[in-house]
Structure 1
């Protein structure tokens, strides 16, 4: 008995040592997440300070930024699939599981390349910046892609997860405005309504009047777990911030100003799914953009969102997960949705309002996946087969 006890104790004592290599490899496999997480939380502030840790939107290959001119695309008219990650994510979520799980299944990008013969391209961006800032940057990147490789890029397919889907929709909005309008500075955008033609306001630019060239290639958009009507988590955070400010005592003021208010603009945008600059820009010319966004979150409900219609001649596929089991109350299942995005927000009623017809040639299809949480949609076999079928 004593011998068995001592043996068990020895094994227990040596267990951390024996598993040290596993934990070390696991830590190395996941260390690439630290910079995206930091950018998701405070990326707007890092970018404003010129911090070297701030991520610049770019295509990625082998863990490195790759300029468009160095992508070296050669095969002609190949269907090209561009993957866009969500908040605090990076391009690796589309490619493989953890490096410490050898032999694990490949994820959507490599599988589609092998099984469907498409060309996968992966984008990484600073998810702490405003969604509209990343949308305009993505539109510019896609424009550079098709202009650099006019013969290599055939049909263009965009796949976005969570915030990435909102960035894609924002890119479509700014792409439809045309390159000149999309490249406007914030100061110009503040006065854009006054400078726009009287017979056509900015909100009416729903069709590609002088659209970015990548729109001519766009055929399909997949939106996985996207909070089209906003994230209930951020909405609750904004409500807590408002409550703390109203209590107006030193501890609650510190929590409101140093914890909640310092979350990034990208996170704040998720609360109301703000896709357009005008939805967060200061209401007056003398206001500061950051202060205006803070006051909008802290003082009351957000201003009405600028409509962002679907693009013409594009097939949209909305993939929604349901996290809770079927035995739970339906209202509870709908509220929590996939765990991070509520069912109603994920389905996106504003994508196709009842009183608004779809643009010419546009199709909208919704697919629901039971027992799938938010990140599970990134590696779910049925979700992959859906992409493969409708690609």
Structure 2
């Protein structure tokens, strides 16, 4: 007879089973897409003239061909549903609280891989309800103070980019200015405006439910996170929410206000520290561009209605708030490897989108790459100086 502790050690982590369910769902999604491509090729062959060796295949919507395609799709749906049901049963069994507590922390490599996967496939994961889709959430530090430092990570990263074992850019900055770090986690593959709508309303709840009275908010966004915060602020002001009135500073780190270069995404993932785990997950999706990646390269952040951007507010920042922008610059390239200096500093933007920054509110970090902006001591000191004013 097995001992209880042995039984517990044999129990799989239900979160890993949930991840596996998401991977299986993605695999069957790929099977369905392959069937769609084959059917489209078949349809084009049916229109070829003259026919090959006198044989003219019938369209895929007629005769036995339609029966075969329907049968293949039905089989894929049946097998996919059966596999998900089986794994869901294992997940339910594994998450039984009587079988012992779960580990509190997940492996950093797993979180990095999921963040990278959502950057490339996040829009698809969200639309299909895949368990691997990241949902908007917040991670609050301690102690709970009346000043909040709101941190939004970049494309393909997660909140751990700001904090490493109790240290790091976010924690050091929060300690220096006497604030509690409040880190955002979001699906970077979705449209910026859609994510920002959730951020805007959820931040309102965070402020309203904070254990002490919130006296000020400082917003710091890295890369895509800056576009998310800018859009969230715009939507909150437009919707009459309370938290914009608490904003004192907004800082952008390498944010592509005018768009970014089309960098090799795989290289950026490896540089971010995701390593081989993320590379394996992205090997089949390397050429895909999610909606979030399109917004990143295009500098899109405004709300749209029927494809038309909604007008921005007359003033970009609430009364009493000041904005700042930092750009990385590698040698004489004029960019940080991803975002140009002009784009990061918000220069030459279209009418109505200007950041209204003076030269004292712009700063160039010489020799600092895009991902290093949240790891560099000089950048930290510059942001600390601005937030202390």
**TM bucket by the smaller chain?**
0.5 to 0.7
- Correspondences of 1:195-344 after superposition (within 5 Å): 211-233=240-262, 260=287, 262-278=288-304, 282-283=306-307, 307=312, 310-313=316-319, 314-324=321-331, 328=332, 333-334=333-334, 337-344=335-342
Q: Displacement, 1:233?
A: 1.1
Question: Which structure 2 residue ranges, 5 or more long, are not aligned?
Answer: 1-105, 266-284
Q: Deviations along 1:95-136, whole A, 9 cap, x unmatched?
A: 12xx7xxxxx93122212333321111110000000001111
Distance 1:157 1:364, change over 3 A: farther
Distance 1:267 1:89 in 2: 13
Aligned counterpart, 1:102: none
Cα contact 1:139–1:172 (8 A) shared by 2: yes
Cα contact 1:73–1:152 (8 A) shared by 2: no
2:383 maps to 1:376: no
Cα contact 2:303–2:309 (8 A) shared by 1: no
Cα contact 1:274–1:305 (8 A) shared by 2: no
Q: Displacement, 1:32?
A: 1.9
Query: TM-score, normalized by length of structure 1?
Result: 0.60
Distance 1:350 1:150 in 2: 42
2:159 maps to 1:91: yes
2:122 maps to 1:31: no
Q: Displacement, 1:355?
A: 11
Q: Deviations along 1:309-357, whole A, 9 cap, x unmatched?
A: 5213211110111012xxx4xxxx22xx011001111111256969979
Distance 1:355 1:50 in 2: 34
Aligned counterpart, 2:362: 366
Bigger Rg, which one: 2
The DSSP-based 3-state class of the residue aligned with 1:149 is: coil
Q: Displacement, 1:81?
A: 0.2
Q: Deviations along 1:132-174, whole A, 9 cap, x unmatched?
A: 0111111111111122238432210011000000001100110
Q: Displacement, 1:276?
A: 2.2
Compare 381-390 and 147-156 and name the one that shifted more: 147-156
Aligned counterpart, 1:198: none
The DSSP-based 3-state class of the residue aligned with 2:249 is: strand
Distance 2:233 2:328 in 1: 24
Count, aligned residues: 261
- Correspondences of 1:132-211 after superposition (within 5 Å): 132-149=193-210, 151-178=212-239, 211=240
Distance 1:134 1:47 in 2: 11
Aligned counterpart, 2:150: 82
2:181 maps to 1:120: yes
Distance 1:215 1:282 in 2: 27
Q: Displacement, 1:232?
A: 2.0
Residue of structure 2 aligned with 1:52, choices 126, 131, 134:
131
Distance 1:160 1:355 in 2: 17
Cα contact 1:315–1:363 (8 A) shared by 2: no
RMSD: 3.2
Distance 1:133 1:84, change over 3 A: same
Distance 1:143 1:167 in 2: 15
Query: TM-score, normalized by length of structure 2?
Result: 0.60
Q: Displacement, 1:277?
A: 3.2
